[in-house]
Amino acid sequence: GDNGGGGGSDVVDGQSGLSFLGSDVITWAALSGVLARCEAAPYGQSEALKMELRVGELVSQVERVLRDKRFLDYLWELDRAEHGFLSARQLSDALERLVRPAGTLKTRVDIKTKRMEAEMEAYYQKQRQYVLEAAELIAQERSGLSELIRKFERRMNERKVGVRDILHEIDVNDDGLVSRDEIRAMLKKMMVPS
């Protein structure tokens, strides 16, 4: 068939991908206009046959893949950045994916695999955190710190003392800070039975 020149300027040729619009940027208005002209133009029998030979099979494949989905809806989905236009490369890739469903499936599998890897990494990270927290609790139990804290809590409850009261009482020198020595002194005081 005829691959270029002449009156078929509204047809995608194999070389440029989208030369029918005259640029590498395709706006929705321009694409809609081309589609409208293609539908409304009174093609002669020979021009209609030429167009059918050039794009008929491609259109059939696209229609089979899309089934009940409209082509323009598909193009809107491709404009993820919501610029209102697609580059020639984006549209060419989109058409290629439509006529090669296996490629689309591989892409979807790759995307889902990456998502799953990220989710699994987050899951394993959380599990590692749980293990570290459990190890810390075990270490506290072995060191006696947990028992000391439990005794301290019992003493606070017995004496009906709140945390704020204790912190104020611990800060002996009234500097607004609690030193290690002040904590030790308070712990000794709290551990003495009343």
Instruction: Please tell me whether residue 27 adopts helix, strand or coil conformation.
Output: strand
Given 65, 80, 99, the domain boundary residue is 99
Instruction: Please tell me whether residue 26 adopts helix, strand or coil conformation.
Output: strand
Same domain for 125 and 192, yes or no, is no
- 8, 54 Cβ separation under 8 angstroms: yes
- 90, 18 Cβ separation under 8 angstroms: no
**Could you tell me the sign of the dihedral formed by the alpha carbons of 117, 121, 123, 127, in that order?**
positive
Same domain for 34 and 94, yes or no, is yes
Same domain for 124 and 191, yes or no, is no
pTM over 0.85: no
For residue 79, give both structure tokens: 């404009």
Same domain for 109 and 95, yes or no, is no
**Taking all residues of the chain, what is their mean pLDDT, rounded to a whole number?**
69
Q: Is the pLDDT of residue 6 over 50?
A: no
Q: What is the pLDDT of residues 127-140, one digit of tens each?
A: 999 999 988 888 87
Same domain for 59 and 90, yes or no, is yes
The answer to whether residue 1 is domain-embedded is no
Question: What's the total number of domains in the chain?
Answer: 3
Structural domain for 169, as ranges: 144-194
Same domain for 83 and 52, yes or no, is yes
